[in-house]
Amino acid sequence: MTTTGLFGIEREGDVLVVTPTADLREFRYEDIEAGARGILDLLGPPGITGVVLDFCKTDSYGSTALGFFLRLWKRISSRGGRMAFCNVSEHEKEVLTVTRLDSLWPICGSKEEALKALRG
């Protein structure tokens, strides 16, 4: 796994798995933005058709992170790709529900389920 900013990154075939390595709270704005730029750059070359955001190491995120998730989704969906979330805490799930972003992406219990949701 490689890292960029607060994110671990690994490739599973045509899917990029992004794992935040710490809570993405607002005081981490600069770190989130630096990591976001690195991840968005990885989506430049063709071949990546999906992104899984794996929250196995976090419990919360703020509006800066939500903005990054939307930018990531716009980039991958503009190329016909898809995105899924997994290992989301109750707090993280509540934020997605309140903002209605849970209607954009499947929220899965595990990374394997998320990969299957993107490929199936």
Strand partners, 84: 52
Residue 97: φ, ψ to 5°:
-70, -45
Whole-number pLDDT of residue 38: 85
Whole-number pLDDT of residue 109: 96
Residues sharing a CB contact under 8 Å with residue 85, sequence separation 6 or more, in sequence order: 52, 53, 55, 96, 105, 106, 107, 108, 114
Whole-number pLDDT of residue 46: 73
Q: Tell me, what DSSP letter sits at residue 59?
A: S
Domain boundaries, the chain: 2-119
Q: What is the mean pLDDT of each run of 10 residues along the chain (120 residues)?
A: 83 94 80 84 81 95 90 92 96 93 94 94
* DSSP alpha helix (H) spans, the chain: 29-42, 63-77, 90-98, 111-119
Whole-number pLDDT of residue 59: 92
Q: What is the CATH number of domain 2-119?
A: 3.30.750.24
Whole-number pLDDT of residue 45: 66
